[in-house]
Structure 1
Amino acid sequence: MGKLIGNIGKFFSEAIARIFGPNDDRYPATGAQPFEGDPYHESSEPKI
């Protein structure tokens, strides 16, 4: 019974440490991406 309570406590403490700990994401530094599309112009046609 004591081991079960210890395992439950360890489970929750590890979860809390993961939630509130530093990020471990390894995303590449991409910076600003250039826009290569056409700008949006609202047409003068009436909306249906």
Structure 2
Amino acid sequence: MNISKMLDSAAQYIIEAMTRIFGPSDDAYPAIGTQPFTGEPYKHRRHADW
């Protein structure tokens, strides 16, 4: 009887893992696409210019 409970819980664990792996994605990221750059480019300065 104890062995059947252990096998049942092991099978449930494996089935839940497979459902999570192969199921639909649950990501909640917005579909916004690429954003254009609107800032200033970085200008490297030398130590002598500080």
Same fold (TM > 0.5): yes
- Tell me which of 15, 18, 21 is aligned to 2:17: 15
Structure 2 spans left out of the alignment, 5+ residues:
42-50
The residue type equivalent to 1:16 in the other structure is M
User: 1:6 — aligned with what?
Assistant: 8
Deviation of 1:35 (Å): 2.1
Distance 2:9 2:35 in 1: 47
Structure 1 spans left out of the alignment, 5+ residues:
39-48
Structure-2-length-normalised TM-score:
0.64
State the identity as a percent: 47
Deviation of 1:27 (Å): 0.7
Count of aligned positions? 39
Over alpha carbons, which structure has the higher Rg? 2
1:1-48: per-residue Cα shift (whole Å, max 9, x none)? 10010000000000001000000111122222112463xxxxxxxxxx
